[in-house]
Amino acid sequence: MSNGTVELSINDKIGTIEFFHPKGNSLPGVVHRKLADTVDEAGNHPDINVIVIKSSGEGAFCAGASFDELIAIEDFDTGKQFFTGFALVLNAMRKSPKLIIVRVHGKTVGGGVGIASAGDYTFAKKGSSVKLSELALGIGPFVVGPAVERAVGTSAFSTMAVDATNWYSSTWATQKGLFNQEFETTEELDAAVSSLAEQLSKSSLDAMKELKAVLWKGTENWDSLLEERAEISGRLVVSEYTKNFIKKFKSKN
């Protein structure tokens, strides 16, 4: 549990993937790679027609990259490997033949914003503010950038990427297209997720697969693009600026 978990459950053709980490559902390497593998597994499972991705608890939906793991990176290869994990998650969601619903119940940062962006339909609870904090760390939102920009457009992505210390409200995120709908309560959120998942679980697999291909048209180069982006982040994460920023941040928390 201390290293985090990713679990897949199947009920009435709905595959629910739930990830957890004790530090705000953050995404250390072991979690985001397991998450990518589980999305692949669910996408190919004969008893699953639609996928729901959620995280555990009532706090943050996802705190993004693990600072403990980031500060331990000492060389480019290790840095690239770490950020490649985020690329694997986004590409698994993109390539999945099944439609993916994302349930966001709380604040989300960095890689978590990428997951929300890569959902084919994303529901959020009101108060689930979002932030791309990477530039403040001296890295930049390079790997998640294509997914976020695809969801909200270049202008809104630029706003989030440049003003990296600001939280953007769930209402702002919904207006920009990051979230498809937001709800006042967890009960309303869960009811909406369940309703759409049940509807899609009974829909034509062939039709949904074709729709998925249409929705993601133009992203065929993401295997190479996200690898290039992981290389940029892998180079920057070993800088003195990033090391010092994380040390200062951890000393205050």
3-state secondary structure of 20: strand
Domains of the chain: 5-201 (3.90.226.10)
Residue 44 has pLDDT above 80, yes or no: yes
In this prediction, residue 179 carries a pLDDT of: 98
Residue 250 has pLDDT above 70, yes or no: no
Residue 169 has pLDDT above 80, yes or no: yes
Pair type for strands 121-125 and 99-104: parallel
What's the mean pLDDT in 194-207? 97
In this prediction, residue 1 carries a pLDDT of: 53
Spell out the residues 6+ positions from residue 207 whose beta carbon is closer than 8 angstroms to its own: none
Residue 218 has pLDDT above 70, yes or no: yes
What's the mean pLDDT in 184-210? 97
What's the mean pLDDT in 213-227? 97
What's the mean pLDDT in 128-150? 95
Q: In which residue are the tokens 């976020």 written?
A: 148
Residue-averaged pLDDT of the chain: 95
Query: How far from the centroid of its chain's Cα atoms is residue 187's Cα?
Result: 22
Tokens of 232: 């940029």
- Please name which of 97, 29, 36 lies closest in space to residue 69, comparing C-alpha atoms: 29
What's the mean pLDDT in 207-236? 96
Pair type for strands 5-11 and 14-20: antiparallel
Assign 71 a pLDDT band (cuts: 50, 70, 90). confident
Rounded to 5°, the CA angle 229-118-146 comes to 30
How far apart CA 202 and CA 24 sit, in angstroms, is 34
Could you report the per-residue pLDDT of 77-106, keeping only the tens digit for each?
Answer: 999 999 999 999 999 999 999 999 999 999
Query: In the 8-state DSSP scheme, what is residue 253?
Result: -
